[in-house]
Amino acid sequence: MRRSRAETDTNHAKLSRRAALLGGVQLLFMGGLAARMNYLQVDQADQYLLLAEENRINIRLIPPSRGEIFDRNGVKLAQNSPSYRIVMVREDAGDVDDVMQRLAKVINLDAEARDRAIAEVKAAERFLPVTVADNVTWDDLSRVSVNAPALPGVSPEVGLTRVYPRGSDFAHIVGRVGRVSQADLDEQETPDAVLRIPRFQIGRINVEAREEALLRGVAGTKQVEVNATGRVMRELSRREGQSGADLQLTVDSNLQNYVQARLGDESAAVVIIDCEHGDLVANASSPSYDPNLFIGGISSADYNPMLESKYRPLVNKTVQGTYPPGSTYKMVVAMAALEEGIVGPDDTVYCPGHLEVGGRRFHCWKRAGHGWVDLENSLKQSCDVYYYELALKVGIEKISAMARQLGLGVRHDLPLSSVAAGLAPTKEWKKETRGADWVIGDTVNASIGQGFTLASPLQLAVMTARIATNRMVTPRLIKSIDGIEQPSGGGEPMGINENNLRKIRQGMHVVVNDRRGTGYRSRIIAEDMRMAGKTGTSQVRNITTAERARGVSRNEDLPWERRDHALFVAFAPSDKPRYAISVLVEHGGGGSTAAAPIARDVMLQALYGGEPPLDAYPTSDRDRISAQQEQLREVQPQATIKGKDQA
């Protein structure tokens, strides 16, 4: 059916209006789109260019160079040495296990190290270089380079590694570094980002650990361009970090080396302190160990013998070990009595060889007794009964107060691990820790440095320095930081009556220089270097009544672990003290036979600044000392002459 013309015109008009409307909408859409594109591409061009650049550029950390450690004369004790290492990138390696098997055929890589490296590579980001072998030789590096086509993803690098050139001499002072563990990160609320760098090393013990904040430094940064997978294409810029601070210690490397050699295989400790500044010029614990073994991860074959040894080479006996101080504690009791006015230097006590207290017999080391003794003779002959009597009059509270004033029972602030406080016991301490009342026998035991009383070799050296100077000498181990001198440990006056101290010093002088003194065989005969000291022997077992009846067993007849500890403390020269020393020989027997000879030899080495002349020794000792010096020269390959081997 044909539509009328009017109907056709009406339909055409409707279509035209719809087309116009649709065209208008399209035009409006295109106009809006053009305006938006203009806004994004022109008005906001700079902002989106910056966002694009930020997505393309990564910022990465550059590990800082660790601060180095020196002795008082500038000899390096811990340094950073260039080292070769092999790294692997998982993204380029493909089959990590296969490539690692091939690498193990090219360089010496044992199964344990290979498995550890495989685990680290697989755990890391696929584009991140992971060290798979540290401290490789130049030959290893060359072999890896030659075999590069067969080792995809493997490449050699040059880095820095920590080295301890003095080996075992300073293991218990400088300490060592080790790799950052997850436990280290978990311990910190906001860990330093540099700690997340694979195989980054931090201090583990002693100065390396306690001064970590100074030694670590501040990481640098570099901008690198990466591709879509995150792989580095090129380095765009670099900002170097800040190296860690260099530390200069108070110790003398030559003296420390001599002390370690002189101790030999003994389980022992020696502390030498400078009386003027409090500087620890030697702080030796024996036996020691080589900290270099720990740098790349120590093997079980090296570690287990040290861990299981009864001589405890991993323990720093100078500050961690606490021992009954034995008769070296008698100066504390005497000072407390003198200061309280309870006894005068000329007052005498009769020693029949024992003292009955509370129904119990306390023996003197000399079974027949010493007869009538005054202060000087009580120290010279180390009479126990004299100090039993004094302690009962003075009381434990005043004795322990004097001990703390002299540096015992106090934790000294040093950058060493696990510095012990020792123990100067009181009635309250026993009540709180043992749940028991203090009894009179406890005071008697404490009077000769037994019972609950404990002290470290460091504390005994501090005690001796304070007696020698009447100042609050404080041990110092850090001499300077980046060349800035640190506060002296010389200390303020103690406020103790100088006349009383003079009597104690005189008693210590005759211990070593009088023929009847317990330390006479270890005297120094050089007139201007005479030594004043005190021997000590501390029991580690109870002597029963039955054993006393049949005769006390000699130390040499007992198993090593049941023998007495040997101690000796001294200062020299006795008229103008320069150094104070303490020596402990674990289970060494008598202080006069085991500890005093070591102290005399070490003290002379310190006073002369090197090997002393033979005429400083008694004539009867010179042949033996000459042979000993010759032997020690052979086992001191690291000793250096001051002024040489400087940083």
Domain ranges (residues) in the chain: 83-157
Torsion on CA atoms 602, 581, 487, 163, rounded to nearest 10: 50
Closest CA to 421 of 491, 290, 321, 312: 321
Rounded to an integer, what distance in angstroms lies between the CA atom of residue 419 and that of residue 607? 28
Q: Among 47, 26, 45, 43, which Cα is nearest to 35's?
A: 43
- 142-151, 183-192, 453-462, 503-512, range with the lowest pLDDT: 183-192
DSSP annotation string for 166-196: TGGGGTTTT-EEEE--HHHHHH-SS--GGGG
Q: Quote the Cα angle for 94-97-98, to 5°.
A: 75
607-620 core/surface letters (b: 16 or more CB in 10 A; e: else):
beeeebeeebbeee
Q: What pLDDT shows up at residue 187?
A: 82
Mean pLDDT of 48-73: 73
pLDDT above 70 for 321: yes
The answer, yes or no, to whether residue 373 has pLDDT greater than 90, is: yes
Indicate whether 106 pLDDT > 70: yes
Per-residue confidence band for 112, with pLDDT thresholds at 50, 70 and 90: confident
Range 373-379 average pLDDT: 97
The pLDDT value given to residue 496: 96
578-614: pLDDT as tens digits: 999 999 999 999 999 999 999 999 999 999 999 999 9
Strand 354-357 to 565-572 pairing: unpaired
* Mean pLDDT in residue range 39-49: 58
Q: Give residue 93's pLDDT band: very low, low, confident or very high (50, 70, 90).
A: confident
pLDDT at residue 51, rounded to an integer: 44
How confident is the model over 401-417, as a mean pLDDT?
A: 97
Question: Tokens at residue 560, please?
Answer: 């090593």
List the beta strands (DSSP E) in 63-167: 69-70, 76-89, 129-136, 154-163
State the CB neighbour count (10 A cutoff) for residue 163.
Answer: 15
What six digits make up the tokens of 162?
A: 């920590």
- Residue 44's pLDDT band (boundaries 50, 70, 90)? low
pLDDT at 451: 94
CATH fold for domain 83-157: Penicillin-binding protein 2a (Domain 2) (3.90.1310)
The answer to whether 199 touches 233, Cβ cutoff 8 Å, is no
Spatial CA neighbour of 328 closest among 521, 570, 76, 120: 570
What's the rounded mean pLDDT across residues 480-509? 96
CA distances, 402 to each of 271, 339, 424, 425 (Å): 22, 9, 9, 12
Rounded to whole angstroms, how far apart are CA atoms 559 and 561?
Answer: 6
Who wins on pLDDT, 88 or 392? 392
Q: For position 11, what pLDDT does the model report?
A: 60
Mean pLDDT of the 2-18 span = 62
Residues 6+ apart with CB under 8 A from 332: 399, 402, 403, 406, 408, 463
Percentage above 70 pLDDT, the chain: 86
> Using the 8-state DSSP alphabet, how is residue 198 labeled?
T
Tell me phi and psi for residue 475, to 5 degrees: -65, 135
| pLDDT tens column, 520-555 | 999 999 999 999 999 999 987 666 555 555 566 677
Closest CA to 450 of 332, 317, 580: 332
Mean pLDDT of 364-381: 95
Residues annotated as part of the active site: 327
pLDDT bin (cut points 50, 70, 90) of residue 397 is very high
Position with higher pLDDT, 31 vs 122: 122
Q: Write down the pLDDT at residue 91.
A: 77
Residue 86 has what pLDDT?
A: 87
Per-residue pLDDT tens over the stretch 170-214? 999 999 999 888 788 888 878 887 787 767 889 999 999 999 999
pLDDT tens figures, 554-567? 777 788 888 899 99
Amino acid at 506: Q
Q: How confident is the model at residue 645, as a pLDDT?
A: 39
Query: pLDDT category, 640, cuts 50, 70, 90?
Result: very low
pLDDT at 223 over 90: no
- Overall average pLDDT of the 389-401 stretch: 97
What per-residue confidence (pLDDT) applies to 49? 52
What's the pLDDT score for residue 646? 37
CA–CA distance, 513 with 422 (Å, rounded to integer):
31
SS3 413: coil
Band the pLDDT of 230: cuts 50, 70, 90: very low
Q: What is the mean pLDDT of residues 278-288?
A: 97
d(CA 83, CA 65): 13
pLDDT, averaged across the chain: 87
Does 248 have pLDDT greater than 90?
Answer: yes
CB 245 within 8 A of CB 67: yes
pLDDT, position 639: 44
Confidence at 83, pLDDT banded by 50, 70, 90: confident
Residue 216's CB: how many other CB atoms inside 10 A? 24
pLDDT grade for 27, boundaries at 50, 70 and 90: confident
Beta bridge partners of 126: none
The tokens for 30 are 């295109």
Mean pLDDT of 53-66: 70
Instruction: DSSP for 429-481, please give it.
Output: HHHHHHSS---HHHHHHHHTT-TT-BB-HHHHHHHHHHHHHSB----B-EEEE
Q: Is the pLDDT of residue 322 over 90?
A: yes
Distances (CA, A) of 505 to 39, 74, 122, 168, 647: 92, 35, 67, 36, 40
